[in-house]
Amino acid sequence: MEISFESNAPYYLSYRLDENRRKLYEEESGGKMRIQCMGEELTLPFHTPLLYHFPVEEYSTVIIASDGFSSFTGSAGFLPSADIIGEFTAFKNYAGEFIRRRAKRAVSTYEKQSVINTDDLSLAAIYALPEKEEA
């Protein structure tokens, strides 16, 4: 799933604290956000609250990331986001600070390939341990 904004500037929650900044953002941004998921696209007002439900039986890991995943570039141009996401989520295990560990490894791998990131990058995850069956 990808959420993007017409101005390429995200709607930060801090805009909700200052009405003047919120109005300015709306004027400059076009006031729309686009959601793309599994081949479908939906356009909504930029301030529409979004709620997602990920049943743990179907999704043991949920990851959220910034648009920095679309800013990795090498000699052949920008790399596909799906490739970047695959590298950053190739977890060997979920022990300790698994996100930090994997992100460092991914950045190191790309540096060795002369691939650089041209934007900031944020990544967070929730991993739900499977419930143990009772004997």
Using the predicted structure, report yes or no on whether residue 29 has a pLDDT greater than 90.
no
CB proximity list for 26: less than 8 A, separation 6 or greater: 46, 47
Residues 16 and 71 in one domain: no
Mean pLDDT of the chain: 88
Q: Give dist(CA 54, CA 78) in Å, integer.
A: 30
Residues 71 and 111 in one domain: yes
Residues 85 and 30 in one domain: no
Number of domains composing the chain: 2
Residues 79 and 28 in one domain: no
Max CA-CA distance within the chain?
Answer: 60
Q: Give dist(CA 127, CA 61) in Å, integer.
A: 4
Asked whether residue 108 is domain-assigned, the answer is yes
Q: What proportion of the chain, given as a percentage, has pLDDT over 70?
A: 96
Residues 65 and 110 in one domain: yes
Q: Give dist(CA 132, CA 92) in Å, integer.
A: 21
pLDDT band for position 131 (cuts 50, 70, 90): low
Flag whether the pTM goes above 0.85: no
Q: Which domain, by its residues, includes 7?
A: 2-45
Q: Supply the Cα-derived Rg of the chain in whole angstroms.
A: 18
In this structure, the strands spanning 72-74 and 2-5 are unpaired
Q: Which of 106, 101, 98, 102 is nearest to 79 (CA)?
A: 106
Digit-coded pLDDT (tens) for 101-115: 999 999 999 999 999
Residues 123 and 66 in one domain: yes
Residues 65 and 122 in one domain: yes
**Span 88-104, average pLDDT:** 93
Residues 40 and 76 in one domain: no
Residue 123 to residues 64, 79, 97, 100, Cα–Cα distance (Å): 6, 18, 12, 9
Beta bridge partners of 63: 125
Residues 67 and 118 in one domain: yes
Residues 28 and 85 in one domain: no
